[in-house]
Amino acid sequence: MKILIAVGSKEYSGPTLQVGIKVAKAFNASTTIVDVGEKVSEFSTKVVGLTQERMESWDFDRPGVDVLEWAFKYLAENNFIEPQQIEAGFPKTTLVEKDGRRAEVYLKGTVCDDVNLILRNGDIIAELRDEVQTEFYDVMIIGGSGKRRMVHDMIQYIDSSIFVVKNYDPSQEYQILIAVDDSPGTRKAIKYGVRVAQAFGIGVNLLTVSKQDHFGEGYKGAADRAAKFMHRSGIEAKNVFKVGDPAKTIVDTAGDNHIIIMGASTRSPIKKFFKGSKPLDVMENCRCPILIVK
């Protein structure tokens, strides 16, 4: 299992890193933390690079290194990296640059072997997509964004599962809400749900929503199988059946004290592009963290 945690700044990315490390521990996952810096106009890329070289000779770090240093401190405080590395401090001198737009530091982890810190520059969706495609991550963890276009592009174009740490409050007591139906995505969502529930030590609500006022065999069977799987895994779970618009019902039921887990849409990419999808609607409107499993 490989996890990519996308952070943006020390001020706003604390919860993302906190949740990301918790999930990484639960999955014993090889973990990478990436900061994507702002895209520089192509007219000035070379001269900005040259200026940064001069800045380094005056003992200034290039933008983004401070974010990685902050992430390193967080990893150190949580004993996620080996003691020798914590003692040696953040190894900024080993920040290896590739292609002028990606630089990385390799660390030795305690929970997993590899912990990497990466700096990228450019369009955020293009950079994250490239990172996920070249390094084959299973889950990407990222903070919430208010921009509809960004949320849409993330779900549409990034190949991995996506955990959006939206409105996460460490003092809040969360439960997991898994959206259950008879689609293939639900089976994957259930498996992820078990691991996340174990990581956070919390119970699970299995929500099945029907647009009509009766539930077909497919839905009932999926809900039963999900509940049995949860019980076999030692997770406290209960089935909830509701009637209404699926996306709205999931958002209302989740409120601000659940972590929503649902499968990705199986609609064709063209339909998703023009009409959107249920996960997109939920992700846009929910007030809590959400994991879309692909």
- The contact set with other proteins (CB under 8 A) reads 40-55, 57-58, 60, 63, 123, 126, 129, 153, 156-157, 268-270, 273
Q: How far apart are CA 74 and CA 72, in angstroms?
A: 5
Shortest distance, position 42 Cβ to other proteins, whole Å: 5
Q: Please tell me the total number of residues recorded for the chain in this structure.
A: 294
Residue (44 or 94) nearer to other proteins, CB: 44
Return the number of the residue (8 or 193) whose C-beta is nearest other proteins: 8
- CB count within 10 Å of CB 96 equals 9
Complex with other proteins: residue 57 or 134, whichever CB lies closer: 57
Q: For other proteins, give the closer residue by CB, 28 or 266.
A: 266
- The amino acid sitting at 225 is R
In the complex, the smallest distance separating the C-beta of residue 4 from other proteins, rounded to whole angstroms, is 18
Instruction: Rank residues 51 and 79 by Cβ distance to other proteins and give the closer one.
Output: 51
Supply the minimum distance, in Å, between the C-beta of residue 65 and other proteins.
11
Pairing of strands 102-108, 96-98: antiparallel
Task: Give min distance, CB of 60 to other proteins, in A.
Answer: 6
What does the alpha-carbon distance between residue 24 and residue 30 come to, in Å, rounded to a whole number? 7
DSSP 249-287: HHHHHHTTSEEEEEEPP-S-HHHHHHH--HHHHHHHH-S
89: Cβ–Cβ under 8 A, 6 or more apart, which residues? Answer: none
Long-range contact pairs involving 86-93 (C-beta distance under 8 Å, separation at least 24): 92/61, 92/65, 92/68
Kindly state the smallest distance separating residue 233's Cβ from other proteins, in Å.
30
Residue-wise over 36-57: b if at least 16 C-beta within 10 A, else e?
Answer: bbeeeeeeeeeeeeeeeeeeee
Q: Which is nearer to other proteins, 45 or 233 (CB)?
A: 45
For the CB of residue 100, give the shortest distance to other proteins in the complex, in Å: 9
